[in-house]
Structure 1
């Protein structure tokens, strides 16, 4: 398995002198897409209605579950990144920590799977899955992850999202209203403009 993992990595990893446009695309996908996705989720929270917010809270619960799973895996199994063993070409800086699974891909795919399971914003769910593939390719191309790290990220994302499904009624009935109240209370206390932070979106 490890031999196949390394072979696939070398097939996808960038050459020592990559094309400028491809390198820029990879760097954008590797880091910026996750930031943009988080910003989009924030916008959907502010402007979304109650059902949409419940879906986002569910996705947030899945993300917390996925982060916990990744942390446990990283603590019990330290898998070196390609550059830590002198394999391929590293084109972006990264800490020399465990590579498995990829946190960036886990983030994208957990949101995507969670929204698809919920049936809310299916286009956004599929978009997250597609951009997650882009993130996965980019981080391998730039030399900071193996293909197996991405397979692990997809498995963690699916597992975390499925674990949240049975508690969806509690999320809808208790957790989402509580978070919405906290959010709306903060908007009122901070006197944020109603045009940008509308309340009572049912």
Structure 2
């Protein structure tokens, strides 16, 4: 499996440094996609998709916690540590499996996909999340299996959150009502 992981990585990164435009685009996706997703979450919060936005937040938190637990048991070098490919963005030397960036992106996308009311934006976010994950590989900071691991973690996170949705609906109702109260904004 590791051989396949490395070969896929080398194939994807073989396009790096062949086009300045493509490199700049992939660097932008790799570095700034999470900020775009945060802006979209703020937008969805203020456009009457508060429930969906809260579920996205819960899914991200759980997904990133799962990543931390996995990191306690599985350590995988980043490609640049192993001396593979080209590195287009700087990153500290730490565990690469699964990708926190990609878990963040896919968790948000799946949370919006699961609700009929936000499915269109969920599809768009899912496509952007996959592009974001591939860009992390392209830029040399993740292996392809790191991205696949993030997809699995995000599916697990949204599944766990959704199966306990009755409890989360009560929390959401409390949070949304608290946010709507004028007293909340007076101090």
TM range (shorter): over 0.9
Root-mean-square deviation over aligned CA pairs: 1.6
Q: Which ranges in structure 2 are unaligned for 5 or more consecutive residues?
A: none
Q: Is the 8 A contact 2:75 2:95 kept in 1?
A: yes
Question: 13-22 or 60-69: which moved more?
Answer: 13-22
Q: Give the match for residue 38 of structure 2.
A: 38
How many corresponding residue pairs? 186
Q: Deviations over 1:39-98 (max 9, x none)?
A: 1101211232xxx21122122111111011001111221100000111111111001000
Match of 1:156 in 2: 153
In structure 1, runs of 5+ residues without a counterpart are: 191-202
TM-score (norm 2): 0.93
* 2:16–2:138 Cα contact (<8 Å) kept: no
Give the aligned partner of residue 183 of structure 1: 179
The one of 167, 171, 175 equivalent to 1:170 is 167
- Provide the C-alpha distance between the structure 2 equivalents of 1:69 and 1:116, rounded to a whole number of angstroms: 20
TM-score (norm. length: structure 1): 0.86
Q: Distance in 2 between matches of 1:3 and 1:112?
A: 30
Q: Which one has the largest radius of gyration?
A: 1
The answer to whether the 8 Å contact 2:17/2:23 transfers is: no
State the alpha-carbon separation in 2 of the partners of residues 14 and 4 from structure 1.
15
- Give the distance between the partners of 2:91 and 2:65, measured in 1 at CA: 21
Q: Secondary structure at the match of 2:86?
A: coil
The answer for the alignment partner of 2:117 in structure 1 is 120
